[in-house]
Amino acid sequence: MKGIVLAGGKGTRLYPNTIVVSKQLLPIYDKPLIYYPISVLLLAGIREILIISTPHDIDNYKELLGDGSKIGVKFEYVVQQEPRGLADAFILGENFIKNDSVCLVLGDNVFYGQAFSKLLHSAIETAEKYGANIFGLMVKDPREFGVVEFNDEGRVISIEEKPENPKSSYAVPGLYFYDNSVVEIAKNVKPSERGEIEITAVNNEYLQQGKLMVTLMGRGMAWLDTGSPKGMYKASGFVKTVQEMQGFYISCIEEIAWRKGFISSAQLRKIGEDLKITEYGQYLLSLTEDRK
């Protein structure tokens, strides 16, 4: 399976912070926001990753992430000239996806929770068996989100966008797993009234084919909103608190790559040395010391 991070858009709700820089390059506490969705793909064992962004921002992502070899993965890049909807990622990424299945994670989504890696691997198996897998996370007020209704087998019955009378309390976060047919499905989606190729239309096509499944995220999972200055601040506070209490970093892509065996201790140590004047670099170095 391959992975796509959609990091486009103008981030207008975060102006003036995002007038000259992409939202996903802004920090969530001690690391760029885009590290968080990338970490999701790494936890799923995905090592081929496509970054989609704007003509203005794509070079900044290339400078930040490079070709991925430093952490044992492969990054590729594609420009989205204009915001055309989430499902446009599969059209832009057709040459990258080729004959593989694919995971799409939105560039501004932050997830945290125990056993998350197991959930991700389960979602991959489900998507490859049935066709598509989305997630459901219980929220206090689902009217602000896409809401998924499902049966006891985890098969999706309906999805509604911001319904006045939700059929369940489970919101759909920006993390999706699909088989290879998603590319052709996305190509045949008619633009919505706002002129975008909606991910909801893709999900509804899988739903009509009886191929859409849902994996539930339990009470221990956190899904953090970074769509506003207040949301960015709260997410940063959450990461800071957890890291200080537990001593382990959230969404540290170098650590995940090391623990997954993508890079060696010597490679991790080299990255830590390059960043040793920072707490982040010192943390990486401490990991290699603990392993001795």
Look at the block and give the residue holding tokens 């939105």: 106
Each domain of the chain, given as residue ranges in start order, spans: 2-261
pLDDT tens, position by position, 184-229: 999 999 888 888 888 999 999 999 999 999 999 988 899 998 988 9
- CA-based max dimension of the chain: 59
Query: What residue ranges in the chain does DSSP mark as E strands?
Result: 2-6, 27-28, 31-32, 48-53, 74-79, 102-106, 110-112, 132-138, 146-150, 156-161, 170-171, 175-178, 212-217, 222-224
In this prediction, residue 196 carries a pLDDT of 86
Residue 291 phi/psi, 5-degree rounding, is -80, -20
Specify which residues 264 forms β-bridges with. Answer: none
Q: Which two tokens stand for residue 270?
A: 């080299």
- Beta-carbon contacts of 219 under 8 Å, excluding residues fewer than 6 positions away, are 138
User: How far is Cα 242 from Cα 192, in angstroms, rounded to an integer?
Assistant: 40
User: How far is Cα 77 from Cα 93, in angstroms, rounded to an integer?
Assistant: 9
Closest by CA to 105, choosing from 157, 178, 211, is 178
Residues above pLDDT 70, as percent of the chain: 99
Specify which residues 146 forms β-bridges with. Answer: 161
Specify which residues 2 forms β-bridges with. Answer: 102
Look at the block and give the residue holding tokens 């446009």: 88
**Contact (Cβ atoms closer than 8 angstroms) between residue 280 and residue 30:** yes
Q: Return averaged pLDDT per consecutive 10 residues of the chain, 292 residues in all.
A: 92 85 94 97 97 95 97 97 90 96 94 91 94 93 89 90 90 95 94 86 94 90 89 95 95 97 97 95 90 54
Residue 106: count other Cβ atoms within 10 Å of its Cβ: 22
Residue 216: count other Cβ atoms within 10 Å of its Cβ: 14
Look at the block and give the residue holding tokens 């001690």: 30
In this prediction, residue 8 carries a pLDDT of 85
In this prediction, residue 19 carries a pLDDT of 86
pTM: 0.95
In this prediction, residue 290 carries a pLDDT of 65
- Beta-carbon contacts of 206 under 8 Å, excluding residues fewer than 6 positions away, are 131, 132, 178, 185, 212
Residue 194: count other Cβ atoms within 10 Å of its Cβ: 8
**Contact (Cβ atoms closer than 8 angstroms) between residue 52 and residue 80:** yes
User: How far is Cα 3 from Cα 267, in angstroms, rounded to an integer?
Assistant: 23
Q: What's domain 2-261's architecture?
A: Alpha-Beta Complex (3.90)
